[in-house]
């Protein structure tokens, strides 16, 4: 039943998806549809157009049809609906709006609708099917017993409306969905807003560390493009051990280093501090020479603080590793480990003693004091003598913690034992020190004292 002057349209009056199936060359359209295609599902419904409206399971039927005059002539529109009890068309008495150029009906349940368009000279008839369709996600679940350190299982399930129509020729009730409907249903799992899986029940591996609950949303799309979705939250069972670069990464002993824990989803931390890398290698080589195959214990000590601070008192190259623990009473605790990058060390400087050969204590603010340059020392003694062997300055300390301390207390300002100013000339100095690497450091020589401006 095709029109040449008039068309029958479908209106989409609700916020959802309207799909138009055109089974042949019909004068029927769906101007508000965002998806339209021909289908081979409807060969038994003759050549009538079929429109599928996507609604929510609890919504009232919401199909809509519109007939419009395409010639600009005024027309009278008479609507009918197929009645399964009488097996005939009866007048439609539901929601109708019309003017002289078009007429619409809405809130339509499933069924076959017919319109008669009369412009005074020509009477034409057209009919179309309305199908209200829904999809419902009935389950999204991540069982706690199946969420382990390795991965987790996601389950989903769904229902679809049982779609049927009545053949107006036989009045038989006939299934409308494609008999292979499951082959046409698609699944999309979204992690937050990212599409990640296309299976209904995916197993996710590796597990995802997170301090916050993660939303996984299942979207089910049936063969007509109708959709439904539901969200489940993943409570992470795994941890990700992360620490920032230690600060500082190098310097003289005693070197105070701060370790910052930036791990994800942890309940406790274990920091492993390694011995000096050189000492470890030397012990390995010595054991090889001795024919000893026992492993070398490379761990010096362990700390359990969240972000510990440690003072390195000995010269060397040091590494660390961090182990984080996530407690899971159901499936067992999960662990993760982070090491320093290969070849990367916390470097504690070797010991050093260097003395200048002149200074000018004239009060001009430049080179006014005799300062022994030091680094990573444990103890140091300084003695300065005049040309006759008289001691004019001395300093001794057995627990040096930094070169700043040494500078503050060991300098010679050019006075004789803190009293009168020494005469310009040549003096002899002797420095004896023990480094934080346990190496003795000795230096002696002559220092020139100038006072001229």
Secondary structure (DSSP) of 188-253:
EEEETTEEEE-SSS-EE-S----SS-EEEEEEEE-TTS-EEEEEEEE-----B--BPPPBSSEESS
Phi-psi region of 343 (alpha: psi -120 to 50; beta: other; left: phi over 0): left
Q: Which domains does the chain have, with CATH numbers?
A: 6-133 (2.60.40.10), 135-234 (2.60.40.10), 250-348 (no CATH), 352-449 (2.60.40.1220)
pLDDT (tens place) for every residue of the chain, 453 residues total: 332 322 333 333 332 333 333 333 233 444 443 333 333 333 335 667 788 888 899 999 988 888 887 677 898 999 999 998 999 999 999 999 888 888 889 899 999 999 898 888 888 888 888 888 999 999 999 999 999 999 999 999 999 999 888 888 888 888 887 776 667 899 999 999 999 999 999 999 999 999 999 999 999 998 888 999 999 999 999 999 999 999 999 999 999 999 999 999 999 999 999 999 999 999 999 988 889 888 889 999 999 999 999 999 999 999 999 999 999 999 999 999 999 999 999 999 999 999 999 999 988 889 999 999 999 999 999 999 999 999 999 999 998 888 877 787 889 999 999 899 999 999 999 999 999 999 999 999 999 999 876
Run of H or E including 409: helix 403-410
Res 453: pLDDT: 60
Res 33: pLDDT: 39
Res 48: pLDDT: 74
pLDDT digits (tens, 9 = 90+) for 389-426: 999 999 999 988 888 777 878 899 999 998 999 999 99
Res 181: pLDDT: 62
Q: What is the largest CA-CA distance in the chain?
A: 140
Res 70: pLDDT: 67
pTM of the model: 0.76
Res 353: pLDDT: 93
Res 448: pLDDT: 96
Q: Report the Cα 49 to chain-centroid distance in Å.
A: 48
Res 216: pLDDT: 98
Query: Can you say whether the dihedral through the CA atoms of 222, 226, 230, 236 is positive or negative?
Result: positive
Q: Which residue has the tokens 């996530």?
A: 326
């Amino acid at each position: 039943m095709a029109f040449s002057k008039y068309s029958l349209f479908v209106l989409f009056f609700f916020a959802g998806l309207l799909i138009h199936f055109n089974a042949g060359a019909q004068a029927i359209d769906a101007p508000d549809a965002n998806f339209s295609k021909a289908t081979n599902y409807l060969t038994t419904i003759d050549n009538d157009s079929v429109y599928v409206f996507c609604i929510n399971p609890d919504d009232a039927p919401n199909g809509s049809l519109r007939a419009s005059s395409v010639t600009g002539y005024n027309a009278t529109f008479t609507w009918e609906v197929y009645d399964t009890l009488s097996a005939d068309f009866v007048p439609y008495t539901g929601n109708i709006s019309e003017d002289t150029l078009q007429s619409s009906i809405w809130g339509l349940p499933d069924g076959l609708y017919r319109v008669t368009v009369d412009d005074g000279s020509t009477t034409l008839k057209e009919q179309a099917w309305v199908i209200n369709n829904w999809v419902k996600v009935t389950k999204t679940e991540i069982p706690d017993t199946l969420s382990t350190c390795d991965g987790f299982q996601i389950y989903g399930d769904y229902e679809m409306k049982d779609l049927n129509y009545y053949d107006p020729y036989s009045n038989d009730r006939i299934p409308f969905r494609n008999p292979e409907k499951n082959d046409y249903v698609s699944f999309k799992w979204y992690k937050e807003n990212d599409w990640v899986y296309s299976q209904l029940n995916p197993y996710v591996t590796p597990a995802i560390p997170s301090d916050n609950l993660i939303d996984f949303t299942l979207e089910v799309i049936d063969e007509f493009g109708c959709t439904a979705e539901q969200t489940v939250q993943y409570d992470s069972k795994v941890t990700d051990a992360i620490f920032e670069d230690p600060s500082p990464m190098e310097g003289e002993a005693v070197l105070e280093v701060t370790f910052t824990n930036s791990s994800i989803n942890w309940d406790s931390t274990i920091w492993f501090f390694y011995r000096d890398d050189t000492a470890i290698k030397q012990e390995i080589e010595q054991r090889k020479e001795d024919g000893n195959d026992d492993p070398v214990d490379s761990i010096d000590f362990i700390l359990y603080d969240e972000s510990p601070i440690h003072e390195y008192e000995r010269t060397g190259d040091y590494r660390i590793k961090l182990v984080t623990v996530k407690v899971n009473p159901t499936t067992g605790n999960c662990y993760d480990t982070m090491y320093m990058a290969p070849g990367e060390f916390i470097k504690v400087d070797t010991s050093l003693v260097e003395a200048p050969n002149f200074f000018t204590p004239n009060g001009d603010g430049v080179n006014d004091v005799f300062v022994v340059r030091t680094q990573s020392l444990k103890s140091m003694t300084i003695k300065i003598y005049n040309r006759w062997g008289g001691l004019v300055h001395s300093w001794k300390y057995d627990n040096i913690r930094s070169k700043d301390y040494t500078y503050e207390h060991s300098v010679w300002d050019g006075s004789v034992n803190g009293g009168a100013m020494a005469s310009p000339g040549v003096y002899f100095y002797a420095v004896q020190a023990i480094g934080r690497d346990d190496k003795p450091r000795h230096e002696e020589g002559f220092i020139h004292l100038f006072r001229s401006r």
